Structure 1
Amino acid sequence: MAHHFANGIPAHLLMWQRVREYAVPPSMIETATARRAVGDWAGACAAARVDTDLDLRAVRDRHGTEFVTRLRADLRRLAPDLLRWHMPRIAPDGRLRPGLTVCLSRYRGSGATPLQLVVRTPPAWADAGQRMSLTLWEDSGGGAPRHHPHPHPDRRFRLDLHRHLWDSKRCGELAWRCGADSEPSLTRPDQPRTGGLPNRADLPDRSDRSDRSDRSDADNCSWASTHWAAEAELLLGAEGRRRGAFTVRLAARSRVVLELVAPDDSHAPTLRPLREALPPQVIAALPVLPEAATRVLPDLELLRAGLVARDRLHPLVATALAACGAVAVSGAVAVSGAMAASGSGPATGSARLPGDPHRVECRGEVHRIALRDGTLTAIDHDPAQLRREELLVALGGPALPCLRAIDAVHRSPEALPAVRERLGHGDVAGALAVVKGLLGPAAVLRDGPLREELESAAARRLDHGLFRSGLLAVHPAAGALGGESAPRAAHAEPEHRPRLDRRTPAAMRLKRSIRARPRTGMA
């Protein structure tokens, strides 16, 4: 997608800034770390909102004790909060990419297809709570939920070659894998290419917008092309090859085909564009460089732009990046000043403290509104007077300015954007903590945007429960007449004729492609 710039800050960095603020709260990290430290991997997953669809006893009976030992070792090293920190996300809200199956580890066995430890994200209509599920994938389909839209592991989003993004024992590799120990190097179209990398003009869609007035920001692309050769060597090595061709996905319908050239063991691997053009079917079958290897680490970009402090990062990520000691933050002052002037930063979720009352001008005086006995109250008015004024309002009379301010805070408080962000990322406890700190634990919510947001989040959690139980395979609105998803619901009808595609059997494709002609006799 095209990355727009506001006040000199790329939109994708503002998205990642909100993600780092709300997606993985500190309470989740602390609880998951404490459970992982004592060897309770299931408790750590529960704290990070990861559902475990694993039965180790059944896996042992099916695949043997040796395999279960290797699997249990990976589960104990799994940091689910770190995995959530690095999971693929979509713009503009920064939520988890829906309907995804990500491979975490592959296990070679006696079968032709290796077993894989995978993590799945629900479809978009059932993503309330932003929960994930951890399970074991087999090519035979055992253990794979039939209601999941994409049960097979995705080649583009795979983390088995990037264990430092979820393995607590190997997170120290993050610094050199993401290039944090070197200065950022950007290749411009007018500069000579080195190492056989693709031209800057071949890279996607930030520099192809000719209507931009400031082209300098468009050159700050987040493609980690200087590390593609090393990552391609790992990719092809996992496929059992030392050299060969692979693809890099640049956009939805744009791919570049590169070739890894490694003359011998004493030379560093280099890349070069493929000399001959390949058919689309051959390009689709080539190995795909994972998304985690193609782009610069978002945390590194945020640090270099000064959009996040080091202490706000995940502790494992901050420790790994601090070990290299070469993260540039030259743009921190300029970017922070631009954000302060424009107010484009994320909404802070800090609610007013109970000892810091609101101040309202009421009847020519400045009155205070603060928390008393668990509710927000106008403390400068007598309780009897407040009861009389509330009765007057119920009969249709005008309300006191203090009562109008309390009603406005109940319906649409200042912290409503922060509550929405937390609910969108599944942090229900954090959202309720903000509401309680603002309105008090004994407050009764009134009709308005705040109550609607909380009720909508509760209703969406029911959809997620139905999806998890397998009682609802598609969105409830898929069968609505005239809806956009109506054709999908027709697939379950007996009279439905499936569309011809690459998964259609050859005999059916041949039968459907031949036009039937009526047999007529001649008089």
Structure 2
Amino acid sequence: MNRAVYDVAPVELRSWERVRRYAVPRRVIERATERRLAGDWRGACAAADVAVDFTLDGIARGHGRAFAEALEDDLLNLAPDLLRWHFPRILHGRSTMATGRTVDLTAGGPVLRVVGPRIPDGPQGLRLVVARAHAAPPDDGLHEDWSELRFLWDARRAGDALAFYGDGTRMPFFHPDGTPLTPAELPSSAPSPTDAVRFAEWAAAPGGLAAALDAAGIKVRDVSLEQVARRFPHVPLLAAAIRRRGRAMLLDDWRPVLAETGDDGTPSIVRSDDYLGDKTPPPLPGPLWTLPPDLMLLRAGLLTPDELHPLVRSACFPARGPADGPVGPPDPPRPVPVRVRCGSAWHEMRPADGGFAMPHTADEQRRERAMRAFGGAVTGCFEIHERWRTGRGRLPKGLRAQRADLFLRAQHGDADGVLDLLDHGVDPHVRDARRRTLLHLLPCLDHARLLPRLLDLGADLEARDHVGRTPLAVAVAELGSTDLVAALLAAGARIDPVDDEEGSLADLIDRWHRTDLLDLRARVAAEHPDVIAGYWSERD
């Protein structure tokens, strides 16, 4: 690991590492690419979990045939998996997409717009809509203009990233084949600001940011440079973006950090005097002024070039030869045995047949189960197994990593990865630190593939998470589809549970404005009226 790079923003880099490992599985990239190359743009979007809220015939009727034809040309070249790869993220320890975010991909009259998820832990799908250029984003969310950044989503233009961030031959910090520059090859003194690549490299050196901002003519007032450095700014791009776009929000905070141009044309970075509320200017999109996170992950040693999205790999490193294997995020690692302390000995617990193989006889295991049934404490291997299945208590590091891998794949909709891990013996009854089971994660997954498999393996439809919600309650509260809700009901899920906040299914439907589930609410009211608290029954 390159500590000099990693220590600048360890939390953000670890967040991006998880994004790159889990958010866009390689098999999703492969399926979306196959559909795109076949001319099936709708199939490509479906493969990448991007919903399309319009038809081309409807667009032609509403906006004219010429616009519809231009839109179709863009859609035929849209790489929805690449769009998902670059979509803004929450970070700060999370890997999910930024909520309430909308992004315009094109400019002009009507625009092609992407709408992000509504909640941080819910389904990670995107929506494509056609909207008026200046129409307000839904729910007062942040809105970004990517019309200058077609290489983030248009397969025809993916290679433009090399000229945008680099000099057309190489990216900052790397040779054209992806080999990192050695310390001796990096600039040791200030290069000309016109040499954008060398200038960006110099600015990233320890202590170089202040001098680079000054050399680029950017004034800084009441802003911590460490806060700016954590975003890995590409200083020449930052200066150009401020001059071109004027006032914009650079960093979102209670007192936002703003980028603006003075009356004399001097770009500056300033902290707002107070909370701006509705007067907050639009954000300056990160890709316009920061170094790509992929480059920073490569520099830090947290990613290899062959783990990049194929279009990103070929754009960043045009001289890199063919990979030895598939290009893209790696497949799930196979579950491996873990050593745990059991009494005075070290035992090996090995995932097998949907549970753990342990070096204990059948009599020993029956005795421990009986002890637990009568309220006694279990220890050693049996204690670890109980923690695995209850989500209570600390697991050994190896098992924590295996559990995190499984639940991150589920959170990002990687049904293939989850099924692969189940096929290789991962216990389907595992719970995460919030005591959620895989059934609780079904709003994020293809439930048609996962639900029957989990039920066959004995998954509990009435399992309660850390706030007392069943999988059905989570599906209601966290925007699970109506098809998922119907499938859980058909499987026998109860409709009368109440969570720890006194919320019944009817209350959750009211609270989260699930007008698509009013039939279920009516059923709860008819069959179990006493469970309804009614706190949110008067919807605003």
The TM-score range, normalised by the shorter chain, is 0.5 to 0.7
Aligned to 1:333: none
RMSD: 4.7
Query: Quick check: 1:35–1:41 contact (8 Å CA) kept in 2?
Result: yes
Query: Quick check: 1:158–1:290 contact (8 Å CA) kept in 2?
Result: yes
CA distance in 1, matches of 2:301, 2:430: 40
Aligned to 1:475: 512
Higher RCO (CA-CA < 8 Å; seq separation 6+): 1
Give the residue type in structure 2 aligned to 1:119. Answer: V
Aligned to 1:255: 258
Give the residue type in structure 2 aligned to 1:134. Answer: L
Give the residue type in structure 1 aligned to 2:226. Answer: S
Aligned to 1:454: 438
2:114 to 98, 119, 123: 119
Q: Which secondary structure state, in structure 2, belongs to the residue aligned with residue 31 of structure 1? A: helix
Aligned to 1:224: 234
Q: Which secondary structure state, in structure 1, belongs to the residue aligned with residue 73 of structure 2? A: helix
CA distance in 2, matches of 1:225, 1:246: 17
CA distance in 2, matches of 1:190, 1:59: 51
Query: Quick check: 2:8–2:229 contact (8 Å CA) kept in 1?
Result: no
Aligned pairs, how many?
Answer: 403
Give the residue type in structure 1 aligned to 2:317. Answer: A
Within 5 Å, which residues of 2 pair with 1:479-518? 492=540
- Label 1:456 to 1:260 Cα distance change in 2 as closer, same or farther (>3 A): farther
How big is the shift at 1:366? Answer: 8.7
- Label 1:462 to 1:255 Cα distance change in 2 as closer, same or farther (>3 A): same
Aligned to 2:124: 130
The CA deviation string for residues 446-478 of structure 1, in whole angstroms up to 9 with x for no partner, is: 778586242432344444546899x9796369x
Query: Quick check: 1:249–1:288 contact (8 Å CA) kept in 2?
Result: yes
How big is the shift at 1:289? Answer: 4.1
Query: Quick check: 2:403–2:432 contact (8 Å CA) kept in 1?
Result: no
Aligned to 2:73: 73
- Label 1:163 to 1:405 Cα distance change in 2 as closer, same or farther (>3 A): same
- Label 1:115 to 1:489 Cα distance change in 2 as closer, same or farther (>3 A): farther
The CA deviation string for residues 145-176 of structure 1, in whole angstroms up to 9 with x for no partner, is: 9xx4148xx55x22111010011110001122
How big is the shift at 1:101? Answer: 1.5
Aligned to 1:207: 226
1:422 to 406, 409, 422: 409
CA distance in 2, matches of 1:466, 1:361: 40
Give the residue type in structure 1 aligned to 2:38. Answer: V
Taking structure 1 as the reference length, what is the TM-score of the superposition? 0.63
Aligned to 2:25: 25
CA distance in 1, matches of 2:96, 2:239: 30
Residue 165, structure 1, aligned to residue 152, structure 2: yes
CA distance in 2, matches of 1:191, 1:299: 22
Q: Which secondary structure state, in structure 1, belongs to the residue aligned with residue 303 of structure 2? A: coil
The CA deviation string for residues 296-326 of structure 1, in whole angstroms up to 9 with x for no partner, is: 211122222222111111111111111278x
Query: Quick check: 2:242–2:267 contact (8 Å CA) kept in 1?
Result: no
Q: Which secondary structure state, in structure 2, belongs to the residue aligned with residue 119 of structure 1? A: strand
Within 5 Å, which residues of 2 pair with 1:313-462? 313-323=308-318, 350-352=333-335, 374-376=353-355, 378=357, 396=374, 407=386, 409-411=388-390, 413-414=399-400, 415-439=402-426, 445=429, 452-458=436-442, 459=471, 460-462=474-476
1:194 to 194, 197, 215: 215
Query: Quick check: 1:259–1:273 contact (8 Å CA) kept in 2?
Result: yes
How big is the shift at 1:255? Answer: 1.7
Larger Rg: 1
More off after superposition, 392-401 vs 24-33: 392-401
Q: Mind listing any 5+ residue stretches in structure 2 that lack a counterpart?
A: 173-196, 269-273, 321-330, 392-398, 443-470, 484-507, 515-533
Give the residue type in structure 2 aligned to 1:258. Answer: T
Query: Quick check: 2:32–2:81 contact (8 Å CA) kept in 1?
Result: yes
CA distance in 2, matches of 1:194, 1:230: 13
CA distance in 2, matches of 1:403, 1:192: 58
Q: Which secondary structure state, in structure 2, belongs to the residue aligned with residue 316 of structure 1? A: helix
How big is the shift at 1:24? Answer: 1.4
Query: Quick check: 2:237–2:290 contact (8 Å CA) kept in 1?
Result: no
How big is the shift at 1:76? Answer: 1.1
- Label 1:466 to 1:474 Cα distance change in 2 as closer, same or farther (>3 A): farther
Q: Which secondary structure state, in structure 2, belongs to the residue aligned with residue 317 of structure 1? A: helix
Give the residue type in structure 2 aligned to 1:437. Answer: H
How big is the shift at 1:403? Answer: 5.9
Query: Quick check: 1:129–1:423 contact (8 Å CA) kept in 2?
Result: no
2:287 to 264, 273, 292: 292
How big is the shift at 1:185? Answer: 2.9
Give the residue type in structure 2 aligned to 1:168. Answer: A
1:149 to 109, 133, 139: 139
Q: Which secondary structure state, in structure 1, belongs to the residue aligned with residue 318 of structure 2? A: helix
Aligned to 1:312: 307
- Label 1:73 to 1:202 Cα distance change in 2 as closer, same or farther (>3 A): same
Give the residue type in structure 2 aligned to 1:317. Answer: V
- Label 1:318 to 1:450 Cα distance change in 2 as closer, same or farther (>3 A): same
Q: Which secondary structure state, in structure 2, belongs to the residue aligned with residue 164 of structure 1? A: helix
CA distance in 2, matches of 1:449, 1:433: 22
Query: Quick check: 1:359–1:366 contact (8 Å CA) kept in 2?
Result: yes
CA distance in 2, matches of 1:367, 1:293: 53
Give the residue type in structure 2 aligned to 1:138. Answer: R
Q: Which secondary structure state, in structure 2, belongs to the residue aligned with residue 96 of structure 1? A: coil
Taking structure 2 as the reference length, what is the TM-score of the superposition? 0.61
